[in-house]
Amino acid sequence: MSELSNLIFHGAKHKITSPYGYRDVIETSGGNSAPFHNGVDYGTFNVKLPQYPIEDGIIVSRGIDWAYGGAKYVWIKYPRLGVKMLHYHLDSYRVKKGQAVNKNTIIGYTGKTGKATGIHLHLGLKLLSGGGYVDPEAWFEKNYTEPITEKDKTGTYKVTAKVLNVRSGPGTKYKAKKFRELSADAQKKILKLTGKKKNGYVKNMTFSVVEVCGNWGRTPSGWVSLNYCRKI
Q: Which residues bind Zn ion (CB under 5 A)?
A: 39, 41, 122
Specify the residue, 114 or 200, whose C-beta has the smaller distance to Zn ion.
114
Min dist. Cβ of residue 165 to Zn ion (A): 54
Q: Return the DSSP state at 181.
A: G
Q: Which amino acid, residue 9? A: F
The minimum distance between CB 202 and Zn ion, in angstroms, equals 57
Rounded to whole angstroms, the Cα distance separating 229 from 164 reads: 8
Shortest Å, Cβ 39 to Zn ion:
5
In the complex, least distance from residue 130 CB atom to Zn ion, rounded to whole angstroms: 22
Q: Is the Cβ of residue 42 or residue 201 nearer to Zn ion in the bound state? A: 42
> In the complex with Zn ion, which residue's Cβ is closer, 41 or 226?
41
Closest contact distance (angstroms) between CB of 20 and Zn ion is 9
Nearest to residue 64, comparing CAs of 56, 55, 72? 72
Q: Between residues 36 and 152, which has the closer beta carbon with respect to Zn ion?
A: 36
Of 153, 156, 200, 150, the residue nearest 175 (C-alpha):
200
- Are 231 and 176 in contact by the 8 Å Cβ rule? The answer is no
Pairwise CA distance, residues 92 & 110, whole Å: 8
The answer to whether 120 and 17 have CB atoms below 8 angstroms apart is yes
Residue closer to Zn ion (CB basis): 52 or 73: 73
Continuous segment of H or E residues that includes residue 4: helix 3-9
